[in-house]
Amino acid sequence: MTGKTAFEIRHGFRRNEVLLSNWRESPFNRWSFQNLGELVPTARVAAASAGAEAQAMDFGGLLGEKVSVASAPETVAEFLIRSSTDALTVMKGGKVIGDWFAPHMDFGARHIIFSISKSVTAIIAGILEGEGAFDPEAPVTTYIPEAAGSAHGDASTRHVLDMSVSLDFEEAYLDPESAFARYRRATLWNPGGGTESLREFILSLQRLAEPHGQTFRYRSPNSDLLGLLLERASCQRFSDLMREKLWLPLGAVSEASIGVDMEGTARTAGGISVTPRDLARIGEMMRQGGTANGRRIVPEAWVRDTVSTGGSAEAWQRGTMAFLFPHGRYRNKWYQTGKPSGAYCGIGIHGQWLYVDPKAEVVIAKMSSQPVPVDDPLDAEIVAFFEALTQLV
């Protein structure tokens, strides 16, 4: 007999069709984004206990409520499906009010959060700064002397944190011949990797003529470099840092993981996988000014600087993402929306979001498998959806 397996019935394709060359493409990403460790090397970040998450919370009638984020009103459930959502968890006033999962994702499953990894990594930078172990204004070469002569040779860690390094590099996600493709090979995310480490790749990059600090330039290698900076400053592997400084104090229920390269260097720019509930816990910790479970995790002053007072509006306006948040800023790898609500967020390609509205006391974790890495019109609709959702909960 040649009947379909349970895997094929559920996902619509066979497991052996998911390859290193296509794992970020639809429809394969609906499975691969939850199973990164079957495709690339990963390091574990253990949780406080091996206990399972409590049962999912039903949104009830909220899923049938209408929202207007595009040309015609649609229900919350219809928008979740249209935006390729895999999971949605919403918290209000510190309590989970609902979880939603697509048929191909189980409650409690991990999902890659891509560039929200940057925001998580920056939290650990803030923790080390509070401990006096990391200086956000120090030259990069203070921690990585071999960066001299590279694009980061005359940059500060502040430039790295705020994505204002004048780096000659483009985020060309879909160009197989670009430097970005070489970057993906160095992370072991594309076929042909294993001859150049992530560290070697980053230190080979050169700078533009413009001084550092003037323009917001979204360049992911900066955030992998941040992970290296934190490892040098702390003399610990990033996965151990994340567990000790964030995951255990946060009270994360489930194990996290992070992709690593041929040298074991963590992919802090985009390789972290967590559950929706634990991602929401990170947002709630930020909403609470850096505390969780009655325990301070990151200094309150760092959180305030990150989500409201820090960052250069001028550098943001010179960048290419100002269309999304016209009055926004970028600080410590978090986006300030500049909206009256004071909302801020972490964002990852293919539709990953951690959105915090402090005025409404709402945290939204959205994990997705959008077919293309970047969809600017859909991003604008997602922001409008979050704004509408905060009024409904």
**Would you name the residues annotated as active-site residues?**
115
Phi and psi at residue 194, to the nearest 5°: 105, 0
Give Cα separations from 333 to 120, 202, 269 (angstroms). Answer: 8, 18, 10
The answer to whether the CB of 271 falls within 8 A of the CB of 36 is: yes
- CA nearest 224: which of 172, 267, 275, 272? 267
Could you give the CA distance from residue 52 to residue 49 in angstroms, rounded to a whole number? 9
Could you give the CA distance from residue 168 to residue 320 in angstroms, rounded to a whole number? 15
What share of residues in the chain are helix, strand, coil (percent, to 5)? 35, 15, 45
Give Cα separations from 83 to 87, 271, 343, 363, 372 (angstroms). Answer: 11, 22, 21, 19, 11
